[in-house]
Chains A and B, each alone.
Chain A
Amino acid sequence: MQTVSNEKIITIEHLSKNYNTLPVLKDINLTVNKGEVIAIIGPSGSGKSTMLRCLNALETISGGEIFYKDKPVSKMKKYSKLREEVGMVFQHFNLFSHMTVLENIIYAPMKVKKRAKDTIVIEATNLLEAVGLKEKKDVYPEMLSGGQKQRVAIARALAMQPEVLLFDEPTSALDPEMVGEVLSVMKNLAKTGMTMLIVTHEMGFAREVADRVIFMDEGYIMEDGTPEDVFENTQNQRVKAFLSKML
């Protein structure tokens, strides 16, 4: 929508992924520019989440290569540096249940990035304020609603000051009335120029917020274009069939 540069941040070349003998991703090619907001849509089982999880090496790849800032991911000895820069928000939030909201947010910047606690606490408080949960900082995750948990999870990922944020169906586990609050946080984030890849079933959100929409099916990227290209002008029968079911 804005501030999309031509600086490549992630390049995927001929990526394939099998679970044992079952092919999930077949031949994925994709370039992500800095500041781009990309929505990834498609039927379940099409490999959307798997592709996303390959980007921060939560899944090992079977073939092809992923380049993060021109560095091949499969050649990395340790993934921790990559993961510090490529954050992830999960469908089921995965907040650490034995830590308070604030501890959840400051733990990794403190222990992984070895930054001073005082500054991180200030940053974390600001992040919580930005997601509207400042007063919940000393509460344990158990006491939060799904929407609140997901907003904390977004704050936790942002506290690492990542270059890219991956969202794996961030609203799929939420009650319908909580979807809006999470999407609005993500919408604000998109405006700041954060590079975002979002696997989602929220077509309205994809259309409104994304710079690019990718349609995946059967382990391939079938369509890649602006929201108008994909939602209105597509010639692809599968995309049409999928969208007619979703809308």
Chain B
Amino acid sequence: MAVFWKILVKYRMLFIGGLKITLIVSILTIIFGTFFGILMSFMKMSKIKPIRWFANAYVEFIRGTPVLVQISLVFYGLPMMGIVIPSIMIGDIDISRLSAGIIALTINTTAYICEIVRGGIISVDRGQTEAALALGMGNARTLICIVLPQAMKNILPSMGNEFITIIKTSSQVSVIGIGELMYAADTIRGISFEPMAPLIIVALIYFLITSVFSIILNNLEKRMARSTQRL
């Protein structure tokens, strides 16, 4: 037990730094992934064939390849494609690496959220769309203001699941040298010659973050369920 406390106290700044990066990466990936995932689900249901084909191919490719490969592909591939994100340092954070990590995770998550949202949209009764159209609403308004809010309510549990997966998957961006929690654990293992304690500490930190997320999402679910029952 003593060794845990020693490691935790001695390297607390590394753990805190790692936690910060993990949270930044996860939250930004959740925000961008939700946005692009919804967009991709619209594309997958588009009447225009090439758009639908692109979305289908995208989802199949991303789901069929490992996230670790995707992260490296983005990190080494972006500069080769001429997209160079300047290596600005904000505090001790390397923006170039961080962006590559967030972009890669967003690309990955978009595919999964696309499928979740699409399932949610399909689950909304066709009559809702017809009623909206019959009132003179356009296709876009019908989809975004009538169908999507109802779909979101249905898919909230699956979305919560996906968000928690994102938090855990964010540990994989340590391979491109982003100083998040997993990276901090590896660093501390190297310098302290303690093989287990740093790993167990970050495992507990991950568990803490995902638990907090679960609680928030559960409350949100309950609140949304209540909103339709209010008298």
B133, B146, B150: which contacts A83 (Cβ < 8 A)?
B133
A139 within 8 A of B: yes
A240 within 8 A of B: no
> Complex: how many Å from CA A113 to CA B132?
13
B128, B137, B230: which contacts A108 (Cβ < 8 A)?
B137
Known contacts A94-B125, A94-B127, A97-B150: A56-B229 contact under CB 8 Å: no
Q: A81-B136, A157-B135 are in contact. List 10 more A-B contacts (CB 8 A).
A: A78-B138, A80-B137, A88-B131, A90-B131, A96-B131, A98-B227, A108-B132, A112-B135, A139-B231, A140-B227
Interfacial residues, chain A to chain B (CB-CB below 8 A):
56, 58, 78-81, 83-84, 87-88, 90, 92-98, 107-108, 111-113, 138-140, 142-143, 153, 156-157, 160
Question: Is the CB–CB distance between A58 and B133 below 8 Å?
Answer: yes
Can you give 6 A-B contacts (C-beta < 8 A)?
A87-B134, A96-B146, A97-B150, A111-B145, A139-B230, A143-B231
Interfacial residues, chain B to chain A (CB-CB below 8 A):
125, 127-128, 130-138, 141, 145-146, 149-150, 153, 227-231
> Complex: how many Å from CA A56 to CA B133?
9
Which of A78, A98, A108: most chain B CB closer than 10 A? A98
> Complex: how many Å from CA A125 to CA B141?
25
Closest-by-CB residue of B relative to A113 is: B136
Residues of A within 8 Å of B137, CB to CB, are 80, 108, 111-112
Chain A nearest CB, measured from B226 CB (Å): 10
Residues of A within 8 Å of B131, CB to CB, are 88, 90, 94-96, 153
How many residue pairs, one in A and one in B, have C-beta atoms under 8 Å apart?
A: 75
Residues of B within 8 Å of A87, CB to CB, are 134-135
Closest-by-CB residue of B relative to A104 is: B131
Question: Is the CB–CB distance between A56 and B231 below 8 Å?
Answer: no
Question: Is the CB–CB distance between B146 and A140 below 8 Å?
Answer: no
Residues of A within 8 Å of B130, CB to CB, are 58, 90, 94
Chain B nearest CB, measured from A154 CB (Å): 12
Chain B nearest CB, measured from A213 CB (Å): 24
> Complex: how many Å from CA A165 to CA B54?
41
Question: Is the CB–CB distance between B228 and A94 below 8 Å?
Answer: no
Residues of B within 8 Å of A157, CB to CB, are 134-135
> Complex: how many Å from CA A95 to CA B127?
9
Question: Is the CB–CB distance between A98 and B149 below 8 Å?
Answer: yes
Question: Is the CB–CB distance between B229 and A140 below 8 Å?
Answer: yes
Question: Is the CB–CB distance between B229 and A142 below 8 Å?
Answer: yes
B128, B132, B136, B228: which contacts A142 (Cβ < 8 A)?
B228
Question: Is the CB–CB distance between B229 and A143 below 8 Å?
Answer: yes
Enumerate the 5 nearest inter-chain pairs by beta-carbon distance, A residue then B residue, closest first: A94-B131, A108-B135, A84-B136, A94-B127, A88-B134
Known contacts A90-B130, A90-B131: A80-B138 contact under CB 8 Å: yes
A92, A111, A139: which contacts B127 (Cβ < 8 A)?
A92
> Complex: how many Å from CA A39 to CA B134?
20
Residues of B within 8 Å of A80, CB to CB, are 136-138
Chain A nearest CB, measured from B26 CB (Å): 28
